[in-house]
Copies of this chain bind each other. A is one copy, B any other.
């Protein structure tokens, strides 16, 4: 299963078997059951998570107690509350398994050590963060330019597998819609 991680790195930088073996000890492998929490709101000592298999989501609680999904991560995506993670602060976000998942995690201290001791990996992380920033900036623009209904239609056209795979109430929580309203939009789309 770790081969997924090596392949992902290999898409960004050349990596030999020896180099991969040298970086593995900085990470921990975890198996998590569907709905289990990897991080709870108010937690310090955060980790950055890489999905080997499965799906994670990050959410925060609205003052009315409602869960608002901020991000999803499928295979080969990283997920964390970046501001709290790099600042070593408490996070007000939770990270939960959407499916039974196998993941890698790394603490900020281990990450800094890894970047220092295995400098070749800097280029991999730089490319990962450039893409993550691009995706976050694109999402910001999307939410500014379009209605939630339009965003769901785009979502559905661009990522049909994702929409099939993730429970509808979580997609509703990501778009800030009620599950009932999302269900109405779907009925209209497929009628």
- Chain A positions within 8 Å of B, measured between CB atoms, are 60, 62, 68, 70-71, 81-83, 85-87, 93, 115, 119, 122-123, 125-126, 129-141, 143-145, 176
Q: Do B86 and A134 touch (CB < 8 A)?
A: yes
Of all chain B residues, which has the CB nearest A78?
A: B133
Of all chain B residues, which has the CB nearest A144?
A: B68
Q: Do A145 and B68 touch (CB < 8 A)?
A: yes
Q: Which residues of chain B have C-beta atoms less than 8 A from A82's C-beta? A: 130, 133-134, 137-138
Q: Do B135 and A83 touch (CB < 8 A)?
A: yes
Copies in the complex: 2
Tell me, in angstroms, the Cα distance from A123 to B122 when the chains sit together: 7
Residue among A62, A70, A82, A85 with max Cβ neighbours from chain B (10 Å)? A82
- The answer to whether A60 and B141 touch (CB under 8 A), given A82-B133, A126-B126, A134-B86, is yes
Q: Is the interface of A mostly helix, strand, loop or mixed?
A: helix
Question: What 5 pairs across the A-B complex have the smallest Cβ distances?
Answer: A136-B136, A82-B134, A129-B129, A83-B134, A133-B133
Q: Do A130 and B70 touch (CB < 8 A)?
A: no
Q: Do A70 and B122 touch (CB < 8 A)?
A: no
| Contacts beyond the supplied A70-B144, A82-B137, A122-B126: 5 A-B pairs with Cβ under 8 Å | A60-B141, A68-B141, A82-B133, A83-B135, A140-B143
Shortest C-beta distance, A34 to chain B (Å), equals: 24
